[in-house]
Amino acid sequence: MRQHWIINKKRWLISLVVIMLFVNTYSAAGAYEESEVSSVMAQNPILFKTPVALAINDQGMIHVADNGNNRIVVLDPVGRYVAEWGGMGSGNGQFNYPSGIAFDSHSNIYVVDRENHRIQKFDANGNYLAQCGSLGSGDGQFRNPSGIAIASNDILYVGDRDNQRIQRFDTNGNFLGQWGSQGNGDGQFNRPYGIAIDGRGHVYVTDSELHRIQEFDANGIFLNKWGSQGSDDGQFRFPFDITVDNRNGHIYVPDAQNNRIQKFDLDGNFISQWGSAGSGDGQFSFPNGVALDRNGDVYVSEATNHQVQKFNANGNFLNRWSGTITVPEALKVQLDAQGGTVHPAEQVKQYHATYGEGSDGVTVDHLPKPEREGYTFEGWFTEANGAGHEVTDTSRITRSEDHTLYAKWTLNYPSIPVISSVEAGDSSVTLKWQAVSYADGYNLYQRTETGSYGAPIVIADSSALQYTYEKLANGTRTFFKIEAFNRRGVSGASVEVNAVPSAVPTITSVIVPANGNYTAGDTLNFRINFNEPVTVYGFPSLGLDIGGIIRQANYVGSSGSSTLNFNYTVQNGDSDSNGISIVAFALNGGTVRSNAGVNASLSLTGAVIPSTAGIIVNGHNQYTLRYDGNGNTGGSVTSDVYSHVSGETVRVLGNSGVLTKDGFTFAGWNNSASGTGKDYAEGSTFVMGANHMTLYAKWNAITPIINNDARLTHLSISGTALTPGFSSGMTTYTTNVGSSIKSVDVTAAPSDPNATVVINGQAIVSGSPSQPISLYAGNNRVDIVVTAADGVTTLTYSIQVRRASDSIDNPVVNYPIVNNPIPSKSNVQTIQVPIESEGGDVLLSVKITRTTDSLGKKKDDIIMTAQQSQQLRTALEGKNVSVARLVLPNDKDEVSEWTMSLQKGAVALLANMGIDLEVVTTKGSIHLSKDTLAKLSGDTTFEIVPLHSESERSALQQLVETNASVLERIGTSSISVVDPPVSIKTNVSSLQSEITLPLSDLNISEAEAENLAVFIKHSDGKVELLRGEVVIYDKSGQKGIRFTIDRFSTFAIVRSEALIIKHHDAYITGYEDGTFRPNMPITRAEMAVLLSRIFEDHSLNDPSSISFNDVDTSYWAKDAITLVSTKGLMIGQGSDSFLPGKTITRAEMAAIVARLIEQSEVKETNFTDVSGHWAEAAIAKVQASGIMNGYTSGEFRPNSPLTRAESVVILNKLLGREPFEGSSIKWNDVAEGFWAYDDIHVASNVYVEDVLATR
């Protein structure tokens, strides 16, 4: 008997599978004509007939594709019938086998209409909007489409079943792309059905007749697959649908012929399964659709049981729906906000049995919460003004007719006033305060230092924001505080302030410049004398009448004394032959106060002012304009000198002399010989300034096109491999060798055969090994410099070779002795080089003597004589030059030493010129200020020697790695020399100067520069490590590090990750009045701005992808709101509102924090007021993490507003910010001892920590 039952069961299962495969493949709807379907729906209103797919929207409404009736059925979250639409046919809104449902971000509904070979689009209420698709295999056509899913960016993915592919569309039905073909390989399909998309945008497809799941990226690139035919864990027999739980990282698949649901992680690893064949709770008969609600509960549609079942995430049965349809009755309830506001869509409600039950009797439709500024909502009542009784969502409706509910309000207490300023006067004090919302007036209290507060002065005017106390005793400190009041009661008192009234300082006399004639550029000094010391805040000025035009003499100092100084520099065009006049003292928004804080009287009436009739101004001067051919080799330039008055409009001459220059084209005029100043086009005009002027012909070089490719195609090192492996775009490598390896050779080949390669200063033949390079214990750097055929473009590759030490104990740094053989024969040549101004103008040419010894080493000697210094002085006449720059050439990187000698007479002349001197080489520059030159008294010599030899560089690297003072700063981090060191010596024992060392890395970023420092080894063995400043080194844009020294030494640029400067920016600010207002509630928009500031990644693919109807494009926090909502840090209220001006609650903040922290879920919390609260889980999670706490009363107060102080305490914990010393910004309403004092200053100040000194 048992055997017979098993055989019959097998036959039944086989028959069922055949039937369902037929249904899924050929559509059972074909068995019904349109009239038959309508008849079934009219005569037998069953809930479902062969449901094949379902989906749940954000409101929890269950949408079911009821295939047997060719309609969509909508149930509420508890499974009660709400609505339906559709019917058999091919017209708009009709269906022929609806087999898939999905929602976009605007709540529009998309239905796969399989046997009409199309996708139909409806609004949230089921009204037809549009369609796309037709029968075929072209782009956008379908053959029996099956499943659909919509990504967070509103891209539609459709399973085109019989075309064996996935197609992509936008929400308007425009085709975007497709992938897939017939087959069983990766990315191929045999009837793709269900589709789901995870939070990363990965697409999961049920490949039904291959009994597997395939995973792709958003563009269809294959990523993963799992499953095979069978009944074991992770195997399938016809998987027809799939859904993803993005909150918990789970995937659910209905395994149709195995009559079960399987659960996996996002990588396809099996987790669990539930279900068996049958019709009982938790049993299935061909489950073919699956969906999730926002709580993570799982819904399953069954074709042959004609029902939908609901389970929790672990497969525990919760509910099921089938049977017949019932529709409840409803009545209308009007909502009167009683002075508040209710959203227009919620002013009239259709309710059924309770006030929280929608008109259909099933939909959850909460009573709305109105808003009224300055009031707290106390609930809905059956009569106006809080009369009658209160009703809630769960209150049953006892009235049978339409009726009205009334909002009840309680007036809020006014907030605590903030005194914005207190100003002492003569026997008076003026208080100013900020307006307080909901206040009817203010109580003002006064006391002396030894007295107590008496009865207040009552100001029954909420618009009054200042008050002046009169007849106070000068010299007596008086204290004040303010309260706000309204009909509800009185606020707390403001922070107490005090002031000392005192007499008003007055002007007693004015001291003016001496009588005489003054011209443009002359400075006139005026001194204002007061009867007592005064302090200046801001930038006051003294008005002067010069020829009927009011000019301003600017304040220049002496605050804190009884005399204030003002200067006026005569301008071109100023003219007053009758003598200037003093007009008035102007504050310009600032103040002048006594030491007691009393504003000074600035009246000049009664002050002693000498006559100014003899102060004569004549600002007109003549200035010359010259033209210079600037090295022309042909044509001529006008020799005329043109005179102009400042302010005159001048027309620029053309190239009337037909100037030419070999190898260049004429490009107009420029006020700098180097062409780097301002351009002046031929025939253009300009206004003459107050200086003599020369316009130089500007020449553009005609340059041939030469290859600038400086890349390598091959790089290798003998006896070891490079890490990482060689790549043309990778320039930095490392390798390790044993202590037995004493030398290596390097082989390199450039991409361009005309490029040159130099390895550690030695040129090599492309593809041939270099000369052996000696290795020392520790780090050895090998530089491979490739110079392109253009002779300009270079690219440096480097290999850091670390050789093991012979002994690991007490490494000894031995600097090698370099024996230089005496050259037997030398070659001497003379080179002329320019001395330039800082603007690039050539001032003078001097001679360099270049000596090449028998080994090919080149040395440059420069001697500057007194005669050359005198020539330089002559060249500087009439020019505004502050720096003379001697630029020494080294185009081929062949000079091994520079010696610069300044003769005694030359030094004296340079010092008298008042200019700086700078000597620039390709390996470093020396900048001597005019003050330094003035201290030199005899012959001065400088010697610059780059350390090119590998032995010298290796020894220096070992010293850097082992020096105690260096290790003290970097700890266990590594450090390396990044550019060839240079030795700079002088015969002067102590000489302060600026040194700049060039950086070979042309593309170093600002952040990478923080890893650099300058290592200095002095001749006495002492070392220093300095920060320096990254600057532009030369005209090519190469960067360098500039620093100040007082003695010359050996210098090297080093790099270490430990040298980075630690800093963080302020993410919140206070107010202009110097207050922080820590107890002020913070709004949702303000929190969005704070969150947007503290998260680094501000990139958005589509900044307008999430929008709210209450945040328009001009709203001040629009970008921040878009950013945090797109990242999921904050969510809107409902589908289209953000409520930016609403105060954020502690519960909402807990929800935000819970999304940001990695903390396992916590089920319980010990707070007394959060049980059943919507944010209970988030509150438990943030309490367990220690980021948010409650109050000593045991409450969390989830609905209380979050204050500014509480906000920064929470955000600082998230960011890990700790208190630090020396914050520069203080707030006058946040005293030391305030509970959030440290957190407020950490959040509102910039913090910087540097392990090095900058010099």
1095-1145 residue pLDDT tens: 755 444 444 467 888 888 888 889 889 888 888 888 887 667 888 888 899
Query: Above 50 in pLDDT, residue 920?
Result: yes
Interacting residues of 1204 by C-beta distance below 8 A, sequence separation 6+:
1068, 1076, 1077, 1078, 1079, 1080, 1081, 1082
Residues 1001 and 861 in one domain: no
SS (H, E, C) 561-578: CCEEEEEEECCCCCEECC
Distances (CA, A) of 1180 to 1130, 1154, 1196: 19, 9, 10
In a domain, 1138, yes or no: no
Strand partners, 552: 543
> Residue 535's pLDDT band (boundaries 50, 70, 90)?
very high
Paired sense of beta strands 403-411 and 331-336, if any = parallel
Report the CATH number that the domain containing residue 92 is assigned in CATH.
2.120.10.30
Paired sense of beta strands 916-920 and 883-887, if any = parallel
Residues 850 and 786 in one domain: no
Q: What pLDDT was estimated at residue 22? A: 36
Lowest mean pLDDT among 74-88, 807-821, 975-989, 1175-1189: 807-821
For range 519-524, the mean pLDDT: 82
Residues 11 and 120 in one domain: yes
Q: What pLDDT was estimated at residue 1046? A: 84
In a domain, 921, yes or no: yes
> Residue 293's pLDDT band (boundaries 50, 70, 90)?
very high
* SS3 label, residue 327: coil
Residues 954 and 1045 in one domain: yes
For range 970-985, the mean pLDDT: 83
The residue with greater pLDDT, 1009 or 383, is: 383
Residues 302 and 444 in one domain: no
The span from the first CA to the last CA of the chain, in angstroms, equals 99
Query: Above 70 in pLDDT, residue 15?
Result: no
* SS3 label, residue 1146: helix
Total count of domains within the chain: 8
Structure tokens at 1111: 């945040």
Residues 151 and 281 in one domain: yes
Structure tokens at 1135: 């589908």
In a domain, 385, yes or no: yes
In a domain, 1002, yes or no: yes
Query: Above 60 in pLDDT, residue 914?
Result: yes
Determine the Cα–Cα distance for residues 1070 and 1020; give it in Å rounded to an integer. Answer: 53
Residues 406 and 345 in one domain: yes
For range 333-350, the mean pLDDT: 75
Query: Above 50 in pLDDT, residue 45?
Result: yes
Q: Which of 499, 520, 546 is the last residue of a domain?
A: 499
Asked if 1153 and 1187 touch (Cβ cutoff 8 Å), the reply is: yes
Report the CATH number that the domain containing residue 722 is assigned in CATH.
2.60.40
Asked if 870 and 905 touch (Cβ cutoff 8 Å), the reply is: no
Q: Helices (H), strands (E): how many in the chain? A: 14, 81
Asked if 1240 and 1206 touch (Cβ cutoff 8 Å), the reply is: no
Residues 566 and 663 in one domain: no
Query: Above 70 in pLDDT, residue 490?
Result: yes
In a domain, 923, yes or no: yes
For range 380-399, the mean pLDDT: 83
Report the CATH number that the domain containing residue 454 is assigned in CATH.
2.60.40.10
How many Cα atoms occupy the beta-carbon half-sphere of 1150 within 13 Å?
A: 27
In a domain, 1083, yes or no: no
pLDDT 10s digits, 847-869: 888 888 777 788 888 888 877 88
Q: Which of 274, 291, 321 is the last residue of a domain?
A: 321
Asked if 257 and 237 touch (Cβ cutoff 8 Å), the reply is: yes
Query: Above 90 in pLDDT, residue 913?
Result: no
- What strand order describes the sheet that includes 375-381? 348-351, 331-336, 403-411, 375-381, 390-391
Residues 140 and 221 in one domain: yes
DSSP H or E stretch at residue 478: strand 478-485
Asked if 100 and 289 touch (Cβ cutoff 8 Å), the reply is: no
Q: What pLDDT was estimated at residue 42? A: 33
Q: What pLDDT was estimated at residue 52? A: 93
Query: Above 50 in pLDDT, residue 36?
Result: no
Give the domain extent around 775.
Answer: 712-803
Q: Which of 1060, 1089, 1121 is the last residue of a domain?
A: 1060
pLDDT 10s digits, 495-508: 999 988 888 899 99
Residues 338 and 308 in one domain: no
Distances (CA, A) of 1008 to 59, 319, 453, 997: 50, 61, 61, 17
Q: Fill in the amino acid letter for 202.
A: H
For range 655-661, the mean pLDDT: 80
Q: Which of 1157, 1147, 1244, 1240 is nearest to 1202 (CA)?
A: 1147
Query: Above 60 in pLDDT, residue 329?
Result: no
Q: What pLDDT was estimated at residue 264? A: 96
Query: Above 90 in pLDDT, residue 606?
Result: no
Mean pLDDT, rounded, of the chain: 83
Q: What pLDDT was estimated at residue 350? A: 60
For the residues of 370-406, what is the DSSP string, one character each? Answer: -B-TTEEEEEEESSGGG-S-EE-TT-B---SS-EEEE
100 DSSP assignment = E
Judge if the upstream peptide bond of residue 980 is cis by omega within 30 degrees of 0: no
Q: What pLDDT was estimated at residue 1096? A: 57
Residues 932 and 1009 in one domain: no
Q: What pLDDT was estimated at residue 289? A: 96
In a domain, 1068, yes or no: no
Paired sense of beta strands 390-391 and 375-381, if any = antiparallel
Q: Which of 1157, 1099, 1093, 1145 is nearest to 1126 (CA)?
A: 1099
For the residues of 776-830, what is the DSSP string, one character each? Answer: -SEEEEEEEEEE-TTSS-EEEEEEEEEEPPS-SSS----PPPP-PPPPS--EEEE
Residues 68 and 205 in one domain: yes
Q: What pLDDT was estimated at residue 1021? A: 74
pLDDT 10s digits, 442-470: 999 999 888 889 899 989 898 899 999 99
> Residue 908's pLDDT band (boundaries 50, 70, 90)?
confident
DSSP H or E stretch at residue 178: strand 175-179
Paired sense of beta strands 1062-1064 and 1247-1249, if any = antiparallel
Highest mean pLDDT among 418-432, 651-665, 815-829, 939-953: 418-432
Q: What pLDDT was estimated at residue 34? A: 30
Report the CATH number that the domain containing residue 659 is assigned in CATH.
2.60.40.4270
Q: What is the b/e burial string over 1012-1028, where b = at least 16 CB atoms within 10 angstroms of the residue's CB?
A: bbbbbbeeeeebbbbbb
In a domain, 1227, yes or no: no
Paired sense of beta strands 428-433 and 466-469, if any = antiparallel
Q: What pLDDT was estimated at residue 35? A: 29
Asked if 968 and 1024 touch (Cβ cutoff 8 Å), the reply is: no
Lowest mean pLDDT among 367-371, 742-746, 822-826, 1248-1252: 822-826
pLDDT 10s digits, 921-931: 988 999 988 88
Query: Above 70 in pLDDT, residue 567?
Result: yes
